[in-house]
Structure 1
């Protein structure tokens, strides 16, 4: 995910061989999707382009993951269903900043600002009773809700923020931000002049919000192929690709 915008996220000695190989092979590399992806690069930057001033950009995923069917991701990586004192891979120090640092770094680059640093924070809440999800069983008292932030700081103040609010049941942590539709949504908040709050609600004729998100993730990449092929060799980002319009995707219902 960090290759969405790798600069200052991973070491230059890792980036340089990729850039060199791409140029030698006349190839372009573009990593994107929905999150990291268009929900926190294309859309917030489009809104920011209409602002007179900007104090903060916050990009949020607020989603119920109960139907996400991957035991490895849900239990091993994210730590759901595990004891609260067991820290999963995702929440080990530095992992959130590695996984989503590309979001705050690219937004900062789009705004033309330099970040003093990137910080991360999280909070988890236990299951009030045992229940089942698509990936398996959630014991009572085990991790069942997660909220985390990756913050890009300027003069010690968060200027760009990536936030996830992840529940395994809609009634968990009602005091946390709520989605704009049942199941989940993405939200962009800009504090400035003017201020914005935009909710992105995904749905599908072939599944729930999670299915819709997977389709959107894939099609963001597929639809970008012509622009990526036409781009200069190297690592390409949303900042330097043209607008991807979905040309050729119209089909009458």
Structure 2
């Protein structure tokens, strides 16, 4: 399948995205330290029905960042909102994985009308998430459960992002007050829960579901933290069915 590459200038930062597929647009927001190329498997599963934009946040993938930007989750959200304007994609459903899910909640709450739906896959988003060291230990537990073929592109993405930026963004989860924000998410919301994910456990997903009125949860048996890579077809099917139902 043909994959295009676009670069847009967003507040002086050259911002990259991969684009593939056909149909109505869907924007994919990656997790902490992750990059567009890590989401090609799920994008391919979505691409028969959607034109998929694999967006690289600033300082991630092939998008520029600076030493002082981004250093917090709100920076990521503000840049995503500005990129949606530049790309002509305001009013598009957004799909966020892990920390990208928390960014999509923030977008829906602070930028009304910028997205029509949220799909959050293995999302962070509640302050009760454990400390950064505990999250890192959980990631180490998760690594043997992921596809071996994800290791090299994943390490390449982490190297591009850099350890310092990743740690600052991860640490900001404790300061990012999602309590009031989640209650302001007023677009249709789908939460995808991998039942074998040691990083974002089911109680976290259920707590987010309680906080967001009318959110829908779909569970994926055997799903790891990198659900988009380990179970791309299941993720795509739940996502497409959800979007079809709300767009009728």
TM-score normalised to structure 2 length: 0.30
More helix by share: 2
More strand by share: 1
Bigger RCO (CA 8 Å, 6+ sep): 1
